[in-house]
Structure 1
Amino acid sequence: MIRPPPLKLKYDNRFPLPIPSARKPKAKESFFQVLYKANWRNIVMAVAGLNAIRFAFATYNAYEDALVDDFEHQPRLVTVSLALCVMYALSCVIEIFGVIGISLQRLSIVRAYVFFEFGAALMVTVAGVLKAASFFLNAEDLMYECVALALTGQSSAKSQFRSRPWPSVYPLGLRQAQKQCVAAWTQESWTQVINVFLLGFMPAMICYLLAYTYYRQTTDASHPAYLVPRHRLSSDSSRHDRPQMQGGYSRIPNADVPYAGGASDNIAAAPAANNLRSAARLRAGRANNGGTTSTKTANTSRSLKRAHRPPALMELEGPIFSPQKGGFMQTATPLSFIFSPGPPTFGVNIVGPSRMGIGAYGPAINLSCSGGSIGSAKFSKFV
């Protein structure tokens, strides 16, 4: 008897079941959402290039038709042909502008192209409607022109007579030319109505939707085709690259602190630096005036407490000596002078005016040092 293979269970009975966790159900993406994730830049450029070629060819045909209509003395057909020529020419220029703008990847140009593309789609649709309306409204003029060209064998001179139902390039008789022109007009009637939608409205609407979708991608920050406005980039770079000046010095970021040197730290450290400078000036003024200052830790900002900087500045001690009335200077603390031998006292004696006069170099000053027996032995070597 052959032993069956072990069962492949999803959960092993020897171990407790895993704790179920609440998971957000995956939203099923539609086909259009999957297509939207791709960058449509190349597709829009290719479609715009094909439209530019198609509209350029239509412009050339409309201009040639206007010349033929003018030669055959058909003023109404000339007006229609010139209107078609102008609308197709403007549409061609818009498509060329779109190809250049998308290749440059400038958001402002892409936005302008979307608005222009809507106008191009509108003009192409109007051109298709005008062409179909002229086919029915100017049918009599069209038949006269068809017969005149068929008699000379130049039916291919007009773009509308180049298809199969219309007369060939060989010269025909009057009755045969009339018969073929009327038969061709009857067969082409229903195709003119369909061409308004198939060759006019639908392609124009599809091209506009492609351009608008690409514009939505360029304004979507989560899409790979996102284009940031150039003026925003320039302003951000200039704001971050501008050196932060504090007291005439540019701030250098610390390598030990990962986020040091930002604009916010510089702004926060500026008031603290001003406080330090004002406190230093106040201490210097008190020292010159002979006053005393209290020992107090100087205020420092958090951005100044770094590994490579010295500890916080401490206020200096009181002055060792202060001027008194008379010809000498005594210590600032008389009690320490009486009860402690201490360090020597320094005196300043004004000897008198110099030989050159007071105005030249001022009075002569004699420095003297005196102290107790204990203190003099210790400090005499420094005098």
Structure 2
Amino acid sequence: MDADLLRGLTPTVLGILVRRGADFAAAEDAVQDALLEAVRVWPTDPPRDPKGWLVTVAWRRFLDATRADVARRRREDAVDGQRTSGPVSAVDDTLQLYFLCAHPSLTPSSAVALTLRAVGGLTTRQIARAYLVPEATMAQRISRAKRTVAGVRLDRPGDVATVLRVLYLVFNEGYSGDVDLAAEAIRLTRQLASAIDHPEVSGLLALMLLHHARRAARTAPDGSLVPLAEQDRGRWETAEIAEGIEILQAALARDRLGEYQAQAAIAALHADAATAEETDWVQIVEWYDELVRLTDSPVARLNRAVAVGEADGPRAGLAALAELDDSLPRHTAVAAYLHECDGDPVTAARLYAEAAGKAPTLAERDHLARRAARLNTHRDPRP
């Protein structure tokens, strides 16, 4: 049984059913039924045309579920002659499904769940495990999302920016359970890049690859976080870095700069440095200036303050930080780092301890607490 083949065919089969007139929610249920039937049948009786087999079974399941409704029965009769004979249409509906699953009426969490289910081909159980929530909770979330988009027609251009935000949300969830969401996000973004020629899609794919290349070096054997400057760069995946830079360069050459290309350019400069000391911080500040211009994001401004501190000295970084709202997530941690770089261990230790209390994850909390403890331990006891 080729699980990757099934997952890859899921959005195509779903798109075909929707294009034939099936309601999205009912079509998605029918496709899931067809996938379960494939898991049962294919190991002993593999089909010659897997996509055609799935379309036929899913369409039959959809018809069986809707025959009691007279209005739907008429629709079935109108399209029934198209369904089982001859080759399946080669039209790729995957792109439209991306747009549907990233519909602006959905919450980010619902859009992510629906994308993983309808486009990614994951089961509700797999998605629930990945997000560490009960399966019933995830099933309710997906059902609500399906009801929300049930009446949306796939006949209008979608919002690429919304689709990319959803995919980036998936990537940033990392991995847990039996589904590697970072790898899944890369797979889905590759799929999107093959369906749409857009420099920001390429920019996001490059950004994911460049970040994912450092994944093995981000944690120590005990699970603790390893800051970028202290990572073993020999553990970085050079093939992913090379691919990410190649994709980014092709996107930048089109002269249609967007936020993901700018972020990827920053990641590429980090990846290009053989050591932390060789990082081109001046160029990184310039790219953060572009990112702030494009997004006016407080998070981008916060990261820019760190880059300014590295390029022009910690006091310049602290001056840039002073312009920002101190309620920003990780603001206190950045202030602690810049004070440490400025030779003020007392203030840095206090701020690290304060930041640890605000940390969003246990690993980050422990990392900040250790930095505070280290400074307190090694502080000069003299007045």
TM-score, structure 2 normalization: 0.19
Larger radius of gyration between Structure 1 and Structure 2: 1
Q: Which has the higher strand share?
A: 1
| Larger helix percent | 2
Q: TM-score, normalised by structure 1?
A: 0.19
